């Protein structure tokens, strides 16, 4: 079975957002970052190369495949 690409990384969320080339998207991402932190109470973490995620949960399908994913997130 293929390995999932959407998993936690050690990339800095703030550095990722600072490098978003479109100014409007970068500012929106900074606003969302503050909002998600305040509402969830969780620290942000990069999930894959472009998703900022908060929290995590584990799932298992009827097929037996299981994994971990973020509870909420966004991508600029």
Distances, alpha carbon 68 to alpha carbons 11, 21, 31, 35, in Å: 18, 30, 26, 23
For the record, the structure tokens of 35 come out as 């909002």
Q: Which two tokens stand for residue 31?
A: 């606003």
The pTM for the full model equals 0.88
Nearest CA to 13 out of 55, 45, 53, 36 is that of 45
- pLDDT score for 58: 94
pLDDT at 1: 59
Question: What does the pLDDT profile of the chain (76 residues) look like in tens digits?
Answer: 567 778 999 999 999 999 999 999 999 999 999 999 999 999 999 999 999 999 999 999 999 988 999 999 999 9
Q: How far is CA 16 from the centre of its chain?
A: 11
């Amino acid at each position: 079975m293929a390995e999932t690409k959407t998993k936690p990384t050690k990339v800095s969320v703030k550095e990722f957002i600072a490098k978003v080339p479109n100014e409007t998207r970068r500012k929106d991402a900074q606003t969302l970052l503050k909002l998600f932190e305040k509402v969830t109470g969780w620290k942000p973490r990069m999930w894959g190369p472009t998703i900022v995620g908060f929290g995590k949960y584990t799932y298992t399908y009827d097929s037996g495949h299981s994994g971990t994913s973020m509870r909420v997130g966004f991508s600029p």
